[in-house]
Copies of this chain bind each other. A is one copy, B any other.
Amino acid sequence: MSATREQILIAALALAADQGVAATSVDDIATRARVAKGSVFYNFGTKSALFEAILSEGVARLNNHLRDATAGLHGRPAVEALVGELLERIRENPDLAKFAVAEMFRTGRDWQDSIRQVREQVIESIAEIVADAWPDRDPALTAAAIFGATLVTGLVWLVFEPEREIEQVRTAILQTIV
């Protein structure tokens, strides 16, 4: 991937995580990425396509990480590995987590399809582990609860109490989830 393209992706995600996509202008993105506005359109075509690329590439990586982290595990250990890995991914890329949270429940957006895939894929990954660990529970709703608890706690940590250790956060979540 070219350096220009990379810089644009990073700048766009950072700005959108903080202000939202619509409030982030291509001018702002270009300035922060230290490229000209024309380069943004040359590399991505439209503003929408730029954010679709951020979303789909980010989610593909996340799903791979979740699968690797839980491969071969079952029951409670699988759930613990999953929560731990998700938390580390959020720490690794908080901007992507913020962006995903903000867009997760919207339906009237250009990248509606991309975001739907994100949600379904991630919840589905978690639901498989839940179904295996607790066969008597509703997999989809339980997966949503675990995902929500980890995502919100992780972001509260990184955005408002970054001085805490990840182990502290992981413990608090796993104590709350059974």
Knowing A102-B102, A106-B98, A145-B177, the reply to whether A138 touches B18 (Cβ < 8 A) is no
Q: Are B146 and A168 in contact (CB-based, < 8 A)?
A: no
A40 within 8 A of B: no
A74 within 8 A of B: no
A141 within 8 A of B: yes
Chain A contact-residue range equals 35 or more
Chain B proximity of A97: nearest CB distance (Å):
8
A19 within 8 A of B: yes
A50 within 8 A of B: no
A109 within 8 A of B: yes
Q: Are A106 and B20 in contact (CB-based, < 8 A)?
A: yes
Q: Kindly list chain B residues whose C-beta atoms are within 8 Å of the C-beta of A138.
A: 168, 172
Interface residues of A in 1-37 (CB under 8 A from B): 17-23
- CB < 8 Å neighbour of A176 from B18, B146, B159: B146
A100-140 near B? 1/0 per residue, CB < 8 Å: 01111111110000000001000100000000000001101
A148 within 8 A of B: yes
Q: Are A141 and B168 in contact (CB-based, < 8 A)?
A: yes
Q: Kindly list chain B residues whose C-beta atoms are within 8 Å of the C-beta of A92.
A: none
